[in-house]
Structures are given as C-alpha cells and as structure tokens.
Amino acid sequence: MYQYDDIDQRMVAERVAQFRDQTRRFLAGKLSEAEFLPLRLQNGLYIQKHAPMLRVAIPYGLLAARQLRMLAHVARRYDRGYGHFSTRQNIQFNWPKLEEVPDALAELATVQMHSIQTSGNCVRNTTTDHFAGIAPDEILDPLVWCELIRQWSTFNPEFSFLPRKFKIAVSGSPADRAATWVHDIGLHAVRGPDGEPGFRVIVGGGLGRTPMVGHAIREYLAWPHLLTYLDAVLRVYNRHGRRDNKFKARIKILVRELTPEGFARQVEAEWQHLRDGPGTVPAEELARIAERFGRPAYPTLQATSAAHETALHRSAPYARWAQRNVHPHRVPGHAAVTLSLKRTGVPPGDVTADEMEAIAALSERHGFGEVRVTHEQNLILPDVRLDDLPALWERLRELNLATPNIGLLTNIISCPGGDFCSLANAVSIPLAEAIQRRFDDLDHLHDIGELDLNISGCINACGHHHVGHIGILGVDKSGEEWYQVTLGGNQGPQAAIGRIIGPSFARGQVPDVVEALLACYLAHRVSEDERFVDVVRRIGIQPFKDRVYGNADRASQAGTESLAHS
Amino acid sequence: MATLIEHRKPVPNRWRIPDHGQADLGETPPAAWDIVTLARWRALGADMQASGGRAAPIGVLLSPGDDPHALHADLPHLAMIAIHLPVFTDGRAYSSARMLRQQLRWSGPLMAVGDVLRDQLLLLERCGFDTFRLRADQDPQEALSAFADFSDAYQAWAAPVALFGRRALAQGARP
C-alpha cells in the first residue's frame, strides 16, 4: 500500500478545501450550474435520479483495512449503509447530500482517500490486474507504475479538460486481467531486446457507443520514457480529438480517423520534443515509490498445506469454492481469495457497512491488512496462508461472501442500471438477479464452466457488455425497456467485441434466452475444457441464433419456440 | 479600462484585444498595444512585422486550433501572445501554452482570453500562462485567491522540474 508523504497528503487536503469553497459558491449562486458541473464531476459527484452519487477513488483497486473501515463509516454517516463497487475498481455511494459531500471528503482524506478525477473529461483512475504484485506469471509488478501514473495524472494541468474521459489500464502479466485492449491506453509489461522491462503501448480501445479493440502503436517503450510518451499521446489527443460531438470525442475515434499508423506518427513526432526531457522517470523515483509501498514480509512456508488438502477431500463445497475462488500466489504457502459480491438477491458489487468492517478484520487476521477491488466488482484478500483457508471459508460462508462462482455465469458484471442511473434505458440489477435465480444450481453452474455474462443498462457500457462472452444491453424502444444480446465478447489477451445475435427481448424472456444459448453450447462443446466463448469462436453465432430465434425448419425440429420480439 | 491579472496581481489593461469572431481592426496598421489575430499578423508582411515588433509592443492572438509552431520565426517580434478559450472546458489552450513554453522557449508574456474563470486560473498558470483577461462578470480581486488553492503539484510548474525531480533533489540535499 503506497503511503502518502507530506506533499501527497497536503494536496488531498487542499483539494477538500477547494471543493468546499466551490460547493459554497455554487450553493450561494456565485457559480452557475454549467460552471460547477465539471468541477463537481472531477470530484466524482454526479446528480442522479434520487440524489447525488459520489464516486470515491480506489487507486488501482488497492485498499487498506483502515480505508475500508472509513468507507463503512462514510456509508453509514452519509449514505444508507452500503456502497457499490464499480468496474473501475472504485466505490460509489448513491445517497449523499450535496452540502455534506465536502465533509465526507474531509473524512476520507484522513485515510489518504479522495474522489479526484473519478469522473469528468480527464484521466480517470488507472486500473490494473487485481493480482498485481502477487501473481506468479508477472513480468513486472504494475503497482509502482500505477502509482507513478496516478501522480502524473493527478491535477495534470495540461489534461484538465480533455475532449472526453480517459482511461488507462496496466497489465504486468501476459494473461491480461485488466482488460487493457479496451482502454483508451493499455500498457503491457514486456521485456526489451536487452532484457530491460518496458511497455507495449495500446491506444484507441474502448467500449461505449462505438466499441473497439485498441491498437498497439509501440511494441516496446523503455520504462524511463513512460510518462513523456503518455504526455505525447495525451497532447495529440487533447489538441486534435473532436470536441464538436460528445459521441465522437473519445481517442478511439481520432485513432480510427488518423489510422493507428498515422496516429502513432503524430505521437512519435510530439514525443521527440519530450523524450529525455525533465519528464523522464528517474530510477530513484521508482525506488522511492516502491519503498513507500512497503511490500509485506512473507513468512517462509511449505508450498502445500495439510489442512487445506484434508478439507479438499472431506468437503465437496469447500473443494468447489477452492476451485473457483482461490488463486495462486507467487509466494509458496499463500493464496489469494476472491470474496464474491455476486450473491443472488444482492445487487452485483454491493457491500454493506457491516460487511466492509468484517472484511477489514479478515484482511488483518488473514493477511497484511490489504484488500483488492476487482474490475469484475468483487473483493480479494491477497495474502492468505493455505493453512488458514478452511477457517476463512467457514467465516466467509457466515458472511455470505463464499459463493463459489468466480469466472462462472452468475459472477455477473452489472452497472447500477435504471434503478439508480439517470442515463440508463433499462434496469440491470433485477435482470442480473433473475438470471442468478435461474442458474442457482451449483452443479449445473460448474458444469457450464467459465462464462462471463455482463449487463449494461445503456450504451455507455459501464457493465462492459461488449466484452462479456454473453453481453446484455438495455435498449429503449418507444419508452419500453428491451434487451439486446451479444455473443463472443472477450476481455483478455484475445480481446473481442461481442456480436449482436438479433432483435432484442423483453426482460422476462432473457433468462430463457440465456438458457437456450447454454443448451446450444452444451450440445456443441467437444469437452468440458472447451469454454462457451471457445465454442462461439469455433462455430460462429449462427447455431446460437437458430437455437434462440428458431426458424421455420429448425425450430420445429428442435422444438424451441421463438423468443424474439419482432 | 478593464483589469488584467498579471503575475498574480491586478493591473490596468493596456492591450486592445480583438473580440473573437469579430473582424480585426481592418486595414490600418496596428498601433502600440494592439493584439492581432494570427491571420492579420500574417497579412502584415515581414517589414511591418519586424518594425511593429521593434517600435511598439504588438501581440498575436492564437485560436485554440492554431499550431503554436506557426509562430516560431515571429517570436522575436512579439511582445505578447494571447490564446483564446472559446469555452472554459476547451482544453486545447493548455497544450498550446505548454508547447510555447517548453518547445518554442517563449519567455515573454502569455495571456489567456475569452471564457477565463476563477476556478481554472491555477491550472492555466501551471501550463505557462502568466496574464489573464477574465470574463467580464468575474471579479479579478476575488479571483486572486485561486492561486492559493494548491501549494504544490506533481507536474513541472514554475519550477521546470516534476515533483519527483524535486523530491530527489531534496533527498540528495539531506545530510
């Protein structure tokens, strides 16, 4: 966990004072609605359906126990006792009062937290692999780099008013658990010809209205140049990105218009003015940040644990949980554990204040007081001893945090949807619940195997539906809510945008549609190892379309009735 | 005569600044303390540009889409560069200012004009602006407090070095 120094702390405190003054001037009528809007957005404050929504930054998804306790306090004192973890690894509170937000921010600042740049047309929270620093397959630990990018992007004056929002993701591992191909900038740790670590730079990916997989514009950038190169990319975008049409203002549109090669040429030309300049990263700064992270001193343990092995043999539910929710760790005798926030009947990503406090306590008992937020809206205890897993499992079951569904169909990514968000065309949370209820049989769920199902309530795609193996998008048809289904999306190294299978469905039909898609998959897979998305890639979407919509011949053969809204 | 903020102090404005969208001052040669658009500056011809620069202070107004490098050869003849912000959320002027300071090494005065508001002053200054003509409804005296909003920043500022460079220097200076 990066510990602020005096300068970091002062900047956050000054930000609170600044926002308090801005809020006061707004409430006094000295700042117009239009003038206050970008100021409050850059402090994570939206005006939503019921109340303002405050989005608090969790830089690259890392939380200390004391920070989680503060979030619990904020949830109780300023909200209704719960929070919602977002796909940007942040947390959202849906019911604060505008005039109390400066007080909430002041309390958050006491534990080195803030809401800086969690919205608005600026560089947002940089996200990374939720196993950063502990994954066995890592080329480099992205956390130090994420903190360096956090400081570079925080109040970066040149990029305060970009054409549109800007999201950066960093992956330290070839497995890419950070969806880097669908970010404005994705950074992959790679080794250069001399073995020195550096980054592959991907630009122009993104979801939303015009989903695109990004383009690698530089295969290797030596690490000292990272920030000057980012300066060059952002400057080209800031100067030439479209400002006349909000829907064409993301960098992906500029990259498409210039072509990736043309964009890369402009960046290289701009970078010639910047490279080796004062923005070059000194090794001392990396060392300073790494020192302030203070990585834990792990005990030396056996690579295996008798207690864990015994539990695996004795208890099928434990084995199922271990298979889905326990993940390898680079340090022998340790594991990372995902706490599923995808409990049927609870909106995906929602956690109560009581649960936050219980999780904070667990992070101290079973680790070093650290919790991770995943972009799939779950929480992780990163440093659990294998010996402790059985006891932890028992406790998590009591807390309803042990649903063994990580990577499975019911681990649904969902935005808050029409119940909360004023942009949404349709609700998301009740649909997620309907699907979870339909597939609540764990044996069946595990038999179906790995499957990402993502739901967005509108085309802004906060629920990442484009990269769901099954994606569901709420659409508006003459004031009614309907749902469009996409297939074959993927967020990892083989990133792909899902394809629409056909006309959209009423909400009540969607669980049936999912069931039909799964029946098609199960009929076509060659083995249990062939995942849903692999089958879609192999046989295409036509057989799935036929199964769902039927057609004159095949529908009668298969006995399926058409589910489509025509 | 309206007030400018110059180096964080209110001063009387001596400059005549063309309103955006209006025609420039026409065919008459610019007088001292005129700021002219880039197009008009170009139309003046080399002799006038040079003499204007020597005899009287003349400034040029850039639109946010203008490439600052276009002024490369003109810098010795200019007493002021102004950049227009059509709306305060148009961030292009910030990059133009950085390029003028860092790439073109412009050390003369740099003025933000247009939709210039209290809450952007510090960000604009940190990109290299030192002179501000606030929007007419803004009170320059009240706006001065904006410069005290933050005492430091991660990026290079008046000090040409990013915070990490200054942190390293401070560390090195420690006994």
Instruction: Delineate the domains of chain B, giving CATH numbers in brackets.
Output: 3-150 (3.20.20.70)
DSSP A377-403: S-EEEEEEEGGGHHHHHHHHHHTT---
> What is the pLDDT at residue A313?
97
All domains in chain A, ordered by first residue: 6-109 (3.90.480.20), 134-289 (3.30.413.10), 306-398 (3.90.480.20), 413-558 (3.30.413.10)
pLDDT at B46 over 80: no
> What is the pLDDT at residue B25?
54
Q: Measured between beta carbons, which residues in chain A are less than 8 angstroms from residue B123? A: 155, 157, 160
Residue of A nearest to B67 (CA): A239
> What is the pLDDT at residue B109?
96
Q: Which of A10, A157, A274 sits opposite B94 (nearest CB)?
A: A157
> What is the pLDDT at residue A31?
94
> What is the pLDDT at residue B20?
56
- Quick check: B95 contacting A, CB < 8 Å? yes
Mark yes or no for CB contact B89/A38 under 8 Å: yes
> What is the pLDDT at residue B42?
87
> What is the pLDDT at residue A561?
44
Q: What 3-state class would DSSP assign to A7?
A: helix
CA B125, CA B132: separation in Å to the nearest integer? 9
pLDDT band at A422 (very low <50, low <70, confident <90, very high): confident
> A443 CA to chain B: closest CA distance, Å?
52
* Average pLDDT estimate for A35-47: 94
Which position has the higher pLDDT, B144 or B21?
A: B144
* Average pLDDT estimate for A377-381: 97
Tell me the residue type at B74.
D
The pLDDT tens digits of the residues spanning A315-335 come to 999 999 999 999 999 999 999
pLDDT band at A48 (very low <50, low <70, confident <90, very high): low
Q: Measured between beta carbons, which residues in chain B are less than 8 angstroms from residue A162? A: 91
Interface of A with B in 27-86 (CB under 8 A): 31, 35, 38-39
pLDDT at B169 over 50: yes
* Average pLDDT estimate for A101-106: 97
> What is the pLDDT at residue A280?
95
The pLDDT tens digits of the residues spanning A203-252 come to 999 999 999 999 999 999 999 999 999 999 999 999 999 999 999 999 99
Q: Measured between beta carbons, which residues in chain A are less than 8 angstroms from residue B117? A: 35
Site of tokens 């276009």: B70
* Average pLDDT estimate for A471-481: 93
* Average pLDDT estimate for A130-135: 96
Q: Measured between beta carbons, which residues in chain A are less than 8 angstroms from residue B130? A: none
Mark yes or no for CB contact A282/B165 under 8 Å: yes
> What is the pLDDT at residue B55?
58
Buried b (16+ CB within 10 A) or exposed e, A177-198: bbbbbbbbbbbbbbeeeeeebb
pLDDT at B52 over 70: no
- Laid out side by side, the sheet with B131-132 consists of B9-12, B3-6, B131-132, B110-114, B80-85, B58-62, B34-37
pLDDT band at B22 (very low <50, low <70, confident <90, very high): low
pLDDT band at B45 (very low <50, low <70, confident <90, very high): confident
- Quick check: B91 contacting A, CB < 8 Å? yes
The pLDDT tens digits of the residues spanning A499-544 come to 999 999 999 999 999 999 999 999 999 999 999 999 999 999 999 9
- Measured between its terminal Cα atoms, the distance across chain A in Å is 53
> What is the pLDDT at residue A365?
97
- Residue A200, phi then psi, degrees to nearest 5: -85, 135
pLDDT at A120 over 90: yes
- Quick check: B36 contacting A, CB < 8 Å? no
Q: Measured between beta carbons, which residues in chain A are less than 8 angstroms from residue B160? A: 278
Strands A185-191 vs A168-171: parallel, antiparallel or unpaired: parallel
* Average pLDDT estimate for B102-120: 96
Mark yes or no for CB contact B165/A278 under 8 Å: yes
* Average pLDDT estimate for A267-290: 95
> How big is chain A, counted in residues?
566
Phi-psi region of A80 (alpha: psi -120 to 50; beta: other; left: phi over 0): alpha
- Quick check: B155 contacting A, CB < 8 Å? yes
Mark yes or no for CB contact A282/B164 under 8 Å: yes
> B125 CA to chain A: closest CA distance, Å?
9
pLDDT at A554 over 70: no
- The pTM of the full predicted model, rounded to 2 decimals, is 0.93
> What is the pLDDT at residue A419?
87
> B173 CA to chain A: closest CA distance, Å?
14
Size of interface A-B (CB pairs under 8 A): 105
* Average pLDDT estimate for B148-168: 81
pLDDT at A552 over 80: no
Q: Measured between beta carbons, which residues in chain B are less than 8 angstroms from residue A239? A: 92, 95-96
> What is the pLDDT at residue B56?
77
- Quick check: B104 contacting A, CB < 8 Å? no
